[in-house]
Structure 1
């Protein structure tokens, strides 16, 4: 498993599953001849996308970022439509660190789309649904949580009732920002969804920025390259521009949940990748 030290914190990528989604949707209005130079695709025009949670350990806490696509949470039709190659192995990844899902103290959710939130819920015998991480507080931006429970005609396809009903008593919400632990802060950005959030981790002069679905892969570094899935694309563009400038200025690691090639990168002000951590298990 890939690991990264950020001062007093350690970051470990867990194995949360893998999808294949349409490259055209993932790159929006960007022409295929351009994006295919930067990211692989198959004969069906699908691109590989990990759904790997980050485990942050520090100050005596174990914090999960995102939850993976879960296990037995998708029908055969959904697996086919979403190009699922692998379901979550988060429990196995935790076991490799001598941990269990019950050891997770908090879960930071950048947003609640199915590919990030399915893993919050476990399926037991008889198809009963229950919290996958029974002792965790789940932190969600307030507008995101509201839309999760009351989706509109567009968002109801990705905000599923079975992903919030079992965990609703565990959720805590924030508005604009929330310092979870010293140097670990969530920020509301909007863009990909109205309540989309990112986080910044700083300790002992080291910085990591997790832009979630504002920057799903390293191939999306151009601020104008946003997904067709984004509900508010101009908000995504302005937010990406702001946070990528900060990443370059501070030589911060940019971490990924979806990238199938890299776990994290550092960039120059012109967007050139100067350091990278390649994906490994």
Structure 2
């Protein structure tokens, strides 16, 4: 496993599965001749997007960012449509660290789209992380349970039934513990949030699906899945200005777990271990 230390916080990506999403949707209006130079794709014009939750260990407990694609919740049609070649292996990954799913005490949900929220519950609807409180923005939680005609394609009832009592929503910003803050941004979804981690003069930021891959570093490169693309662009510009010296950590990028940028160029990187079925 690769691992990044931010002061007292130890960050480790966990194998939460993979999707193969349409390249045009992933890069929106960006022409393929441009994005194909920056990110891998297959003959079906699909790009690999891992769904790897980020484990954060410290004196404050064991926390996760997002939850992976779970196990046994996708039928064959959805597996085919979303290119799911393998599902979550989080329980085994945690066991390698002498942990179990019961040892997770906080899950920070950047948003509740299916590829981030499937892993919260089992195929029978039971909570996977039985002792965790689940933090997401109030507007995200509201839309999860009452999606509109567009968002109902990604906010699924099976991903929140069974965890309602575990969810603790916030409005604008919340300190999870000293050094970790969730900030509501909107953009990708109305309730989308980013996570800041800082300690000992070091910082990391998880921009979630505002920056799903390193190839999306250009503020204008936003996905076709973004409900409010202009909000995404403005938020990206502000966040890149704020976090110039920070590590950027990724849930989706198939090649990188963490990078540092100088402008649009990667100047430091932490590569993932080889990903299955890519």
1:88-127 equivalences under 5 Å are 88-123=88-123
Alignment-derived partner of residue 66 in structure 1: 66
Match of 1:246 among 226, 242, 248: 242
**Structure 1: where are the runs of 5+ without partners?**
none
Alignment-derived partner of residue 190 in structure 2: 194
Alignment-derived partner of residue 177 in structure 2: 181
How many Å separate the matches in 1 of 2:211 and 2:21? 15
How many Å separate the matches in 2 of 1:18 and 1:160? 18
Alignment-derived partner of residue 84 in structure 2: 84
Once the two structures are TM-superposed, the CA of residue 58 in structure 1 deviates from its matched residue by 1.3
How many Å separate the matches in 1 of 2:116 and 2:240? 22
Once the two structures are TM-superposed, the CA of residue 221 in structure 1 deviates from its matched residue by 0.1
Encode CA deviations 1:38-92: one digit per residue, 9 max, x unaligned: 0011110000110000000112310011000000010011000000111000001
Encode CA deviations 1:169-222: one digit per residue, 9 max, x unaligned: 000010000010111000000000000000100000010000000000000000
1:127-166 equivalences under 5 Å are 128-166=124-162
Runs of 4 or more, structure 1, over 2 Å off, are: none
Question: What SS does the aligned partner of 2:56 have?
Answer: strand
Contact 1:16 1:89 in 2 (8 A): yes
Question: What SS does the aligned partner of 2:67 have?
Answer: coil
Alignment-derived partner of residue 273 in structure 1: 266
Question: What SS does the aligned partner of 2:131 have?
Answer: coil
Match of 1:264 among 258, 263, 267: 258
Matched, 1:223 2:250: no
**Structure 2: where are the runs of 5+ without partners?**
none
Question: What SS does the aligned partner of 1:129 have?
Answer: coil
How many Å separate the matches in 2 of 1:40 and 1:68? 21
How many Å separate the matches in 1 of 2:269 and 2:239? 18
Question: What SS does the aligned partner of 1:67 have?
Answer: coil
How many Å separate the matches in 1 of 2:223 and 2:159? 23
Once the two structures are TM-superposed, the CA of residue 154 in structure 1 deviates from its matched residue by 0.3
How many residue pairs match? The answer is 274
How many Å separate the matches in 2 of 1:73 and 1:94? 21
**TM, length-normalised to structure 2:** 0.97
Contact 2:60 2:177 in 1 (8 A): no
Encode CA deviations 1:222-250: one digit per residue, 9 max, x unaligned: 000000000000000000111112222xx
**TM, length-normalised to structure 1:** 0.96
